[in-house]
Structure 1
Amino acid sequence: MTDFEIEWNRMINGEIYNAVNPEFFKKLEITRLKLWEFNNLKPSQTQKQAEILHTLFGSHGTNMRINQPFRCDFGCNIFIGNNFFANFNLTILDEGKVSIGDNVFIGPNVNIFTACHPIDPAERNTGVEWAEPVTIGNNVWIGGGATILPGITIGNNVVIGAGSVVTKNISGNSVAAGNPARIIKHLTPGNNCHDTVEPC
Protein backbone atom coordinates (compact mmCIF):
# COMPACT_ATOMS: atom_id res chain seq x y z
CA MET A 1 0.00 0.00 0.00
CA THR A 2 1.37 3.42 -0.97
CA ASP A 3 1.71 6.34 1.44
CA PHE A 4 -1.25 8.01 -0.26
CA GLU A 5 -3.43 4.90 0.04
CA ILE A 6 -2.62 4.77 3.75
CA GLU A 7 -3.57 8.45 4.18
CA TRP A 8 -6.73 7.99 2.08
CA ASN A 9 -7.88 5.08 4.23
CA ARG A 10 -7.21 7.13 7.34
CA MET A 11 -9.35 9.92 5.92
CA ILE A 12 -12.23 7.60 5.05
CA ASN A 13 -12.06 5.93 8.47
CA GLY A 14 -12.24 9.22 10.36
CA GLU A 15 -8.64 9.11 11.55
CA ILE A 16 -6.16 11.99 11.53
CA TYR A 17 -4.41 12.09 8.18
CA ASN A 18 -1.89 14.17 6.26
CA ALA A 19 -4.05 16.33 4.00
CA VAL A 20 -1.04 17.94 2.28
CA ASN A 21 0.11 14.70 0.68
CA PRO A 22 0.63 15.75 -2.97
CA GLU A 23 -1.59 12.94 -4.24
CA PHE A 24 -4.60 14.55 -2.57
CA PHE A 25 -4.08 17.68 -4.65
CA LYS A 26 -3.86 15.60 -7.82
CA LYS A 27 -7.12 13.85 -7.00
CA LEU A 28 -8.80 17.17 -6.13
CA GLU A 29 -7.66 18.59 -9.46
CA ILE A 30 -9.24 15.70 -11.38
CA THR A 31 -12.56 16.38 -9.65
CA ARG A 32 -12.33 20.12 -10.22
CA LEU A 33 -11.74 19.61 -13.92
CA LYS A 34 -14.92 17.53 -14.11
CA LEU A 35 -16.81 20.19 -12.15
CA TRP A 36 -15.46 22.95 -14.36
CA GLU A 37 -16.82 21.09 -17.39
CA PHE A 38 -20.15 20.40 -15.66
CA ASN A 39 -20.61 23.98 -14.47
CA ASN A 40 -19.78 25.46 -17.88
CA LEU A 41 -22.14 23.34 -19.94
CA LYS A 42 -25.24 24.99 -21.39
CA PRO A 43 -28.32 24.45 -19.22
CA SER A 44 -29.86 22.55 -22.14
CA GLN A 45 -27.03 19.98 -22.15
CA THR A 46 -28.69 17.84 -19.51
CA GLN A 47 -27.48 14.52 -20.90
CA LYS A 48 -23.84 15.58 -20.78
CA GLN A 49 -24.34 16.96 -17.28
CA ALA A 50 -25.74 13.60 -16.17
CA GLU A 51 -22.81 11.76 -17.73
CA ILE A 52 -20.28 13.83 -15.79
CA LEU A 53 -22.12 13.38 -12.49
CA HIS A 54 -22.30 9.64 -13.13
CA THR A 55 -18.49 9.50 -13.28
CA LEU A 56 -18.17 11.74 -10.23
CA PHE A 57 -20.25 10.17 -7.45
CA GLY A 58 -19.69 6.98 -5.50
CA SER A 59 -23.23 6.01 -6.50
CA HIS A 60 -26.57 7.60 -7.30
CA GLY A 61 -30.12 6.49 -7.95
CA THR A 62 -32.61 7.45 -10.64
CA ASN A 63 -34.06 10.88 -11.34
CA MET A 64 -31.20 13.05 -10.09
CA ARG A 65 -31.07 16.76 -10.90
CA ILE A 66 -28.36 19.18 -9.73
CA ASN A 67 -28.49 22.78 -10.87
CA GLN A 68 -25.28 24.49 -11.88
CA PRO A 69 -23.00 25.49 -10.26
CA PHE A 70 -22.14 22.55 -8.03
CA ARG A 71 -18.94 21.98 -6.09
CA CYS A 72 -17.43 19.12 -4.12
CA ASP A 73 -13.95 17.90 -3.18
CA PHE A 74 -13.67 14.30 -4.39
CA GLY A 75 -17.18 13.27 -5.41
CA CYS A 76 -16.48 9.55 -4.99
CA ASN A 77 -17.42 9.76 -1.31
CA ILE A 78 -20.94 11.01 -2.12
CA PHE A 79 -23.76 8.45 -2.30
CA ILE A 80 -27.19 9.65 -3.44
CA GLY A 81 -30.55 7.85 -3.54
CA ASN A 82 -33.48 8.19 -5.94
CA ASN A 83 -35.36 11.39 -6.76
CA PHE A 84 -32.70 13.88 -5.73
CA PHE A 85 -32.85 17.59 -6.48
CA ALA A 86 -30.29 20.22 -5.54
CA ASN A 87 -30.65 23.88 -6.43
CA PHE A 88 -27.87 26.35 -7.30
CA ASN A 89 -24.56 26.48 -5.40
CA LEU A 90 -24.61 23.21 -3.49
CA THR A 91 -21.18 22.61 -1.90
CA ILE A 92 -20.20 19.23 -0.45
CA LEU A 93 -16.82 18.72 1.19
CA ASP A 94 -16.72 14.93 1.00
CA GLU A 95 -13.52 13.96 2.76
CA GLY A 96 -15.82 11.72 4.78
CA LYS A 97 -18.72 9.72 3.39
CA VAL A 98 -21.86 11.70 2.57
CA SER A 99 -24.93 9.46 2.33
CA ILE A 100 -28.17 10.99 1.02
CA GLY A 101 -31.42 9.01 0.92
CA ASP A 102 -34.39 8.99 -1.45
CA ASN A 103 -36.61 11.98 -2.20
CA VAL A 104 -34.24 14.64 -0.89
CA PHE A 105 -34.69 18.29 -1.94
CA ILE A 106 -31.89 20.79 -1.30
CA GLY A 107 -32.37 24.54 -1.66
CA PRO A 108 -29.83 27.01 -3.06
CA ASN A 109 -26.53 27.86 -1.34
CA VAL A 110 -26.49 24.81 0.93
CA ASN A 111 -23.22 23.53 2.45
CA ILE A 112 -22.50 19.99 3.61
CA PHE A 113 -19.15 19.61 5.38
CA THR A 114 -17.28 16.53 6.58
CA ALA A 115 -13.77 18.00 6.85
CA CYS A 116 -12.44 18.88 10.32
CA HIS A 117 -9.37 20.90 11.32
CA PRO A 118 -7.55 21.14 14.66
CA ILE A 119 -8.42 24.09 16.89
CA ASP A 120 -4.77 24.54 17.90
CA PRO A 121 -3.14 26.75 15.21
CA ALA A 122 0.27 25.08 15.39
CA GLU A 123 -1.28 21.67 14.81
CA ARG A 124 -3.61 23.03 12.14
CA ASN A 125 -0.69 24.56 10.24
CA THR A 126 0.93 21.12 9.85
CA GLY A 127 -1.81 20.15 7.40
CA VAL A 128 -3.38 17.37 9.42
CA GLU A 129 -7.14 16.89 9.21
CA TRP A 130 -9.82 14.31 9.89
CA ALA A 131 -13.32 13.78 8.54
CA GLU A 132 -16.68 12.86 10.04
CA PRO A 133 -19.43 11.41 7.82
CA VAL A 134 -22.79 13.05 7.16
CA THR A 135 -25.99 11.03 6.71
CA ILE A 136 -29.24 12.48 5.39
CA GLY A 137 -32.32 10.25 5.47
CA ASN A 138 -35.28 9.85 3.11
CA ASN A 139 -37.85 12.56 2.37
CA VAL A 140 -35.70 15.42 3.62
CA TRP A 141 -36.01 19.07 2.56
CA ILE A 142 -33.05 21.32 3.34
CA GLY A 143 -33.89 25.00 2.97
CA GLY A 144 -31.70 27.53 1.19
CA GLY A 145 -28.52 28.70 2.86
CA ALA A 146 -28.42 25.88 5.42
CA THR A 147 -25.11 24.40 6.57
CA ILE A 148 -24.72 20.79 7.73
CA LEU A 149 -21.61 20.33 9.89
CA PRO A 150 -19.38 17.23 10.09
CA GLY A 151 -20.66 14.11 11.80
CA ILE A 152 -24.36 15.00 11.53
CA THR A 153 -27.20 12.54 10.94
CA ILE A 154 -30.56 13.88 9.76
CA GLY A 155 -33.41 11.40 10.09
CA ASN A 156 -36.24 10.60 7.68
CA ASN A 157 -39.04 13.10 6.97
CA VAL A 158 -37.16 16.16 8.19
CA VAL A 159 -37.35 19.80 7.11
CA ILE A 160 -34.33 22.02 7.80
CA GLY A 161 -35.25 25.71 7.78
CA ALA A 162 -33.48 28.20 5.54
CA GLY A 163 -30.25 29.58 6.94
CA SER A 164 -29.98 26.95 9.66
CA VAL A 165 -26.64 25.67 10.95
CA VAL A 166 -27.03 22.02 11.92
CA THR A 167 -24.57 21.23 14.71
CA LYS A 168 -26.36 18.23 16.26
CA ASN A 169 -28.25 15.22 14.95
CA ILE A 170 -31.87 15.84 13.98
CA SER A 171 -34.33 13.04 14.69
CA GLY A 172 -36.89 11.97 12.09
CA ASN A 173 -40.35 13.44 11.50
CA SER A 174 -39.43 16.94 12.58
CA VAL A 175 -38.82 20.52 11.51
CA ALA A 176 -35.55 22.07 12.69
CA ALA A 177 -34.40 25.65 12.27
CA GLY A 178 -32.03 28.25 13.67
CA ASN A 179 -28.36 28.69 14.50
CA PRO A 180 -27.68 26.29 16.02
CA ALA A 181 -30.61 24.36 14.56
CA ARG A 182 -33.11 22.92 17.02
CA ILE A 183 -36.32 21.00 16.54
CA ILE A 184 -39.25 23.42 16.51
CA LYS A 185 -42.01 21.01 15.47
CA HIS A 186 -42.66 17.29 15.43
CA LEU A 187 -44.48 15.97 12.37
CA THR A 188 -46.95 13.14 11.92
CA PRO A 189 -46.03 11.30 8.72
CA GLY A 190 -48.73 11.55 6.09
CA ASN A 191 -50.26 14.80 7.39
CA ASN A 192 -50.30 17.90 5.23
CA CYS A 193 -47.65 20.00 6.94
CA HIS A 194 -47.02 22.66 4.31
CA ASP A 195 -48.41 25.47 6.46
CA THR A 196 -46.20 24.81 9.52
CA VAL A 197 -42.99 26.48 8.38
CA GLU A 198 -41.57 28.16 5.30
CA PRO A 199 -38.04 26.74 4.88
CA CYS A 200 -36.98 28.72 1.84
Structure 2
Amino acid sequence: MSDNQTEFEKMRQGLAFNGIDTDLRLRREAARLACAKYNAHPSKGNLRHITRLFAQFGSLVIEPGFQCDYGTQIHIGERCYINFNCVFLDSAQITLGDDVLIGPGAHLYTVDHPRDALARAAGECHAKPIVIGDKVWIGGGAKILPGITIGNNAIIGANAVVTRDVADHERYLG
Protein backbone atom coordinates (compact mmCIF):
# COMPACT_ATOMS: atom_id res chain seq x y z
CA MET A 1 0.00 0.00 0.00
CA SER A 2 1.35 3.39 -1.00
CA ASP A 3 1.12 6.27 1.43
CA ASN A 4 0.05 8.61 -1.37
CA GLN A 5 -3.14 6.72 -2.24
CA THR A 6 -6.26 8.84 -2.33
CA GLU A 7 -9.07 8.11 0.09
CA PHE A 8 -11.18 7.09 -2.91
CA GLU A 9 -8.55 4.53 -3.95
CA LYS A 10 -8.36 3.21 -0.38
CA MET A 11 -12.15 2.94 -0.23
CA ARG A 12 -12.34 1.04 -3.54
CA GLN A 13 -9.63 -1.36 -2.36
CA GLY A 14 -11.52 -2.19 0.84
CA LEU A 15 -9.04 -0.39 3.09
CA ALA A 16 -9.87 1.98 5.94
CA PHE A 17 -10.55 5.44 4.51
CA ASN A 18 -11.43 8.91 5.70
CA GLY A 19 -15.11 9.51 4.91
CA ILE A 20 -14.85 13.26 5.51
CA ASP A 21 -12.14 13.64 2.85
CA THR A 22 -12.91 16.56 0.53
CA ASP A 23 -12.71 14.50 -2.67
CA LEU A 24 -15.12 11.89 -1.27
CA ARG A 25 -17.54 14.59 -0.11
CA LEU A 26 -17.49 16.12 -3.61
CA ARG A 27 -18.10 12.71 -5.21
CA ARG A 28 -21.08 12.13 -2.89
CA GLU A 29 -22.41 15.59 -3.76
CA ALA A 30 -22.18 14.78 -7.49
CA ALA A 31 -24.11 11.54 -6.95
CA ARG A 32 -26.70 13.37 -4.84
CA LEU A 33 -27.20 15.92 -7.64
CA ALA A 34 -27.59 13.15 -10.24
CA CYS A 35 -30.18 11.43 -8.06
CA ALA A 36 -31.97 14.74 -7.45
CA LYS A 37 -32.28 15.38 -11.21
CA TYR A 38 -33.93 12.02 -11.72
CA ASN A 39 -36.03 12.15 -8.56
CA ALA A 40 -37.39 15.61 -9.47
CA HIS A 41 -38.44 14.51 -12.97
CA PRO A 42 -38.45 10.70 -13.23
CA SER A 43 -38.37 9.48 -16.80
CA LYS A 44 -36.38 6.99 -18.86
CA GLY A 45 -34.41 9.92 -20.25
CA ASN A 46 -33.57 11.29 -16.82
CA LEU A 47 -32.68 7.84 -15.48
CA ARG A 48 -29.37 8.31 -17.30
CA HIS A 49 -28.35 10.82 -14.61
CA ILE A 50 -28.20 7.90 -12.19
CA THR A 51 -27.15 5.02 -14.45
CA ARG A 52 -24.14 6.87 -15.82
CA LEU A 53 -22.76 6.73 -12.27
CA PHE A 54 -23.11 2.94 -12.09
CA ALA A 55 -20.24 0.55 -12.73
CA GLN A 56 -22.61 -1.79 -14.57
CA PHE A 57 -26.34 -2.12 -15.17
CA GLY A 58 -28.74 -4.16 -17.24
CA SER A 59 -32.41 -3.48 -17.77
CA LEU A 60 -33.89 -1.90 -14.68
CA VAL A 61 -36.58 0.30 -13.22
CA ILE A 62 -35.74 2.73 -10.45
CA GLU A 63 -38.64 4.55 -8.85
CA PRO A 64 -38.18 8.11 -7.55
CA GLY A 65 -36.55 8.74 -4.20
CA PHE A 66 -33.42 6.73 -5.01
CA GLN A 67 -30.21 7.81 -3.27
CA CYS A 68 -26.64 6.50 -3.48
CA ASP A 69 -23.28 7.59 -2.09
CA TYR A 70 -21.21 7.35 -5.27
CA GLY A 71 -22.89 4.99 -7.73
CA THR A 72 -19.49 3.90 -9.02
CA GLN A 73 -19.57 0.66 -7.06
CA ILE A 74 -23.10 -0.40 -8.04
CA HIS A 75 -23.47 -3.40 -10.39
CA ILE A 76 -27.02 -4.30 -11.44
CA GLY A 77 -28.13 -7.31 -13.48
CA GLU A 78 -31.04 -7.69 -15.87
CA ARG A 79 -34.72 -7.04 -15.14
CA CYS A 80 -34.25 -5.46 -11.72
CA TYR A 81 -36.83 -3.30 -9.98
CA ILE A 82 -35.91 -0.81 -7.26
CA ASN A 83 -39.02 0.65 -5.63
CA PHE A 84 -39.56 4.13 -4.14
CA ASN A 85 -37.14 5.73 -1.65
CA CYS A 86 -34.34 3.17 -1.67
CA VAL A 87 -30.85 4.01 -0.41
CA PHE A 88 -27.63 2.34 -1.62
CA LEU A 89 -24.54 3.39 0.37
CA ASP A 90 -21.92 2.06 -2.01
CA SER A 91 -18.53 2.67 -0.40
CA ALA A 92 -17.91 -0.98 -1.35
CA GLN A 93 -19.45 -2.88 -4.23
CA ILE A 94 -23.17 -3.56 -4.29
CA THR A 95 -24.01 -6.31 -6.75
CA LEU A 96 -27.57 -7.22 -7.71
CA GLY A 97 -28.12 -10.35 -9.79
CA ASP A 98 -30.86 -10.75 -12.38
CA ASP A 99 -34.57 -10.43 -11.61
CA VAL A 100 -34.09 -8.75 -8.22
CA LEU A 101 -37.08 -6.95 -6.68
CA ILE A 102 -36.38 -4.39 -3.98
CA GLY A 103 -39.31 -3.03 -1.99
CA PRO A 104 -39.90 0.62 -1.07
CA GLY A 105 -37.63 2.18 1.50
CA ALA A 106 -35.08 -0.64 1.47
CA HIS A 107 -31.53 0.37 2.40
CA LEU A 108 -28.26 -1.32 1.47
CA TYR A 109 -25.32 -0.21 3.63
CA THR A 110 -21.75 -1.20 2.71
CA VAL A 111 -20.08 1.40 4.91
CA ASP A 112 -19.40 1.00 8.61
CA HIS A 113 -17.63 3.01 11.27
CA PRO A 114 -15.16 2.10 14.02
CA ARG A 115 -16.45 1.30 17.46
CA ASP A 116 -13.70 3.54 18.88
CA ALA A 117 -15.08 7.08 19.35
CA LEU A 118 -11.81 8.86 18.51
CA ALA A 119 -11.38 6.97 15.23
CA ARG A 120 -15.02 7.73 14.36
CA ALA A 121 -14.54 11.43 15.14
CA ALA A 122 -11.48 11.48 12.86
CA GLY A 123 -13.68 10.27 9.98
CA GLU A 124 -12.37 6.72 9.69
CA CYS A 125 -14.66 4.38 7.77
CA HIS A 126 -14.46 0.93 6.30
CA ALA A 127 -16.74 -0.88 3.90
CA LYS A 128 -17.64 -4.43 2.91
CA PRO A 129 -19.46 -5.47 -0.27
CA ILE A 130 -23.07 -6.60 -0.51
CA VAL A 131 -23.91 -9.34 -3.00
CA ILE A 132 -27.51 -10.18 -3.88
CA GLY A 133 -28.13 -13.23 -6.06
CA ASP A 134 -30.65 -13.84 -8.82
CA LYS A 135 -34.42 -13.77 -8.32
CA VAL A 136 -34.21 -12.27 -4.83
CA TRP A 137 -37.12 -10.34 -3.32
CA ILE A 138 -36.28 -7.79 -0.64
CA GLY A 139 -39.33 -6.51 1.23
CA GLY A 140 -40.07 -2.87 1.92
CA GLY A 141 -38.07 -1.19 4.65
CA ALA A 142 -35.46 -3.96 4.84
CA LYS A 143 -31.91 -3.02 5.83
CA ILE A 144 -28.97 -4.99 4.42
CA LEU A 145 -25.80 -4.49 6.48
CA PRO A 146 -22.15 -4.42 5.29
CA GLY A 147 -20.60 -7.64 4.03
CA ILE A 148 -23.86 -9.55 3.52
CA THR A 149 -24.41 -12.07 0.73
CA ILE A 150 -27.97 -13.05 -0.15
CA GLY A 151 -28.31 -16.25 -2.18
CA ASN A 152 -30.40 -16.94 -5.25
CA ASN A 153 -34.19 -17.09 -4.88
CA ALA A 154 -34.08 -15.81 -1.28
CA ILE A 155 -36.82 -13.67 0.25
CA ILE A 156 -36.07 -10.93 2.76
CA GLY A 157 -39.09 -9.93 4.82
CA ALA A 158 -40.38 -6.38 5.09
CA ASN A 159 -38.52 -4.33 7.73
CA ALA A 160 -35.96 -7.11 8.30
CA VAL A 161 -32.47 -6.09 9.39
CA VAL A 162 -30.17 -8.55 7.66
CA THR A 163 -27.17 -9.18 9.91
CA ARG A 164 -25.92 -12.47 8.43
CA ASP A 165 -25.60 -14.13 5.06
CA VAL A 166 -28.81 -15.62 3.65
CA ALA A 167 -28.67 -18.96 1.81
CA ASP A 168 -30.20 -19.79 -1.56
CA HIS A 169 -34.00 -20.23 -1.29
CA GLU A 170 -34.02 -19.07 2.34
CA ARG A 171 -36.74 -16.85 3.79
CA TYR A 172 -35.20 -14.35 6.17
CA LEU A 173 -37.84 -12.54 8.20
CA GLY A 174 -35.49 -10.70 10.55
**So what's the TM-score if we normalise by structure 1?**
0.83
Equivalent residue number for residue 17 of structure 2: 17
Opposite residue 138 of structure 2, the aligned amino acid is: I
Choose from 64, 68, 71 the match for 1:72. 68
Deviation at 1:2, TM superposition (A): 9.6
Q: Paired residue for 1:131? A: 127
Instruction: Give the SS at the match of 2:61.
Output: strand
Structure 1 gaps of 5+ residues are: 179-200
The corresponding residue for 1:165 is 161
Deviation digits for residues 162-194 of structure 1, max 9, x if unmatched? 11000000010111112xxxxxxxxxxxxxxxx
Q: Distance in 1 between matches of 2:11 and 2:51?
A: 23
Partner deviation per Cα, 1:82-138 (whole Å, 9 max, x = no partner): 001011110000000001000000001100000010111111101111110000000
| Mapped pair 1:81 → 2:43 | no
**Structure 2: how far apart are the matches of 1:47 and 1:89?**
17
Is residue 140 of structure 2 the alignment partner of residue 144 of structure 1?
A: yes
Whichever residue aligns with residue 44 of structure 2, its letter is Q
Cα distance, 1:47 vs structure 2: 2.3
Q: How does 1:168-187 map to 2 (within 5 A)?
A: 168-178=164-174
Q: Matched residues, percent identical?
A: 38
Query: Are the equivalent residues in 1 in contact too, given 2:155–2:172 (CA < 8 A)?
Result: yes
Q: 1:2 to 1:83 in 2, by over 3 A?
A: farther
SS of residue in 1 equivalent to 2:8: helix
Letter in 1 for 2:63: N
Task: Report what 2:51 is aligned to.
Answer: 54
Separation in 1, partners of 2:101, 2:172: 15
Q: Which region of structure 1 is more displaced relative to structure 2, 51-60 or 141-150?
A: 51-60
Q: TM-score normalized by structure 2?
A: 0.94
Greater RCO (CA < 8 Å, at least 6 residues apart): 2
Alignment of 1:20-31 (within 5 A): 20-31=20-31
Deviating beyond 2 angstroms after TM superposition, the runs of 4 or more aligned structure 1 residues are none
- State the superposition RMSD in angstroms: 1.5
8 A Cα contact 2:135 2:153, kept in partner: yes
